[in-house]
Amino acid sequence: MLALHSFFRSGTSHRVRIALNLKGISAEYHPVDLRTDAHLAAAFKAINPQALVPVLTVGSEHLIQSPAILEWLDETYPEPPLLPKDSFARARVRALAAMVGCDVHPLNNRRILMYLRSQFGADEAAVNTWCATWIGTAFDALEVMLAADKTRGDFCHGGQPSMADVYLVPQIESARRFGVDLAAWPHIMAIDVACQAIPAFANAAPSRQPDAA
């Protein structure tokens, strides 16, 4: 039995929930409430010394870091695949994923925003501008790449959801929460619509989790 240690609003937990749903894998939901510092408790740090969600528990193994968890899921449960077969296509999908996973999400993470507030005196407007800057910079580049891909169907790559959509959809959710106007990125918006029509994505949304506020 798998168990997912997740916080409903965590974008990285959201990715893993989507991937589990796409592959039809059930996992027990273990909420970790970041608002009450549940992730800093000794019991949680024993399973993840980094004190971050998500953690996917598989028997006695505790898998951490969503990029590693997603690759593990795709290797262990190959159907439906999150990566295409062609090697350049795989590199492209992983690059689209990393644009969000490396160059957006880590910057808008809860601990970073707390630091901006406490150490640089950032108010909510400054925090939202910070978030919007990195989301916008990456989404501008993503939009160019998506528009240039003439073989693309309804998703980030081809006609099926891939690892890239697994990263993008939680980032869109987060962008909305930070008040970012998404109208500048019509390809990204259309991908969100296509994904939300799929129950695996819709059921992974923060608002549908047991720990949702």
Is position 3 an interface residue for a second copy (rule: CB under 8 A)?
A: no
Please state, in angstroms and rounded to a whole number, the distance separating the CA atoms of residues 119 and 124: 14
Least Å distance, CB 196 to a second copy, is 25
Q: Which of 74, 80, 64 has the alpha carbon at shortest distance from 12?
A: 64
Question: Contact with a second copy (CB under 8 A): which of 78, 120, 199, 207?
Answer: 120
- C-beta of 155 vs 198, nearer to a second copy: 155
Residue 64 near residue 40 (C-beta atoms within 8 A): no
Least Å distance, CB 77 to a second copy, is 11
Residues 125-184 that bind a second copy (CB under 8 A): 126, 129-130, 133, 138, 140-141, 144-145, 148
Least Å distance, CB 125 to a second copy, is 12
DSSP H helical segments within the chain, as ranges? 11-22, 42-47, 66-76, 87-101, 110-120, 124-148, 163-177, 186-196, 199-202
Question: Contact with a second copy (CB under 8 A): which of 99, 180, 188, 195?
Answer: 99
Residue 46 near residue 19 (C-beta atoms within 8 A): no
